[in-house]
């Protein structure tokens, strides 16, 4: 019994280590495999859209989120905005991931085929996972609806 409990505990610790280390190893690999000019050009357009949204935003809470996202996630690279296939659960396609225990976000390469304004909303959605309670979407859904409305308003003013 004692041997079994130690084996289970060691297995648990190994699982926690792998779960924690994997994003750092992936970030290190991503950071060493090129300059990511295409991803950075797309991200620059997305951040420009967020800056235009920030100029027209009157809500202090949303201003803080926009400021944080613009400042924190403006660089394509390791531990900022990585572009790599996102694997999700269930039927829906996962287009972005934010692991709270690892710095940075990951967006799926498919997002780079979208208009930068739509992709900016994926970036800001993942940035909101940096806010407590990190997991889940109860703290995101209401804000995200307001941000989409603001995004559409900014697009209409541009055209």
Write the pLDDT tens digit of every residue in 29-80.
777 787 889 999 999 999 999 999 999 999 999 999 999 999 999 999 888 9
Out of 3.30.1360, 3.40.390, 2.40.50, 3.40.1760, the CATH code matching 2-158 is 3.40.390
CA 94 from centre of chain: 11
Rounded distance between C-alpha atoms, residue 114 and residue 44, angstroms: 14
% pLDDT > 70, the chain: 92
**Phi, psi (rounded to 5 degrees) for 130:** -75, -10
Q: CB-side exposure of 132: number of CA atoms within 13 Å? A: 0
Q: Which residues pair with 107 in a beta bridge?
A: 83, 96
């Amino acid at each position: 019994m004692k041997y079994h409990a130690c084996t289970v505990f060691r297995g648990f610790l190994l699982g926690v280590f792998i779960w924690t280390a994997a994003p750092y190893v992936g970030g290190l690999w991503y950071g060493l495999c090129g300059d990511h000019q295409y991803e950075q050009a797309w991200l620059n357009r997305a951040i420009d859209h967020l800056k235009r949204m920030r100029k027209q935003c009157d809500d202090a809470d949303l201003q803080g989120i926009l400021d944080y996202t613009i400042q924190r996630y403006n660089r394509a690279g390791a531990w900022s905005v990585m572009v790599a296939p996102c694997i999700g659960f269930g039927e829906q396609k996962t287009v972005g991931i934010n692991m709270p225990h690892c710095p940075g976000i990951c967006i799926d390469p498919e997002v780079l085929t979208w208009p930068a304004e739509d992709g900016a909303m994926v970036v800001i959605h993942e940035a909101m996972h940096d806010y407590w309670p990190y997991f889940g979407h109860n703290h995101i859904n209401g804000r995200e609806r307001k941000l989409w409305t603001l995004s559409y308003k900014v697009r209409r003013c541009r055209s």
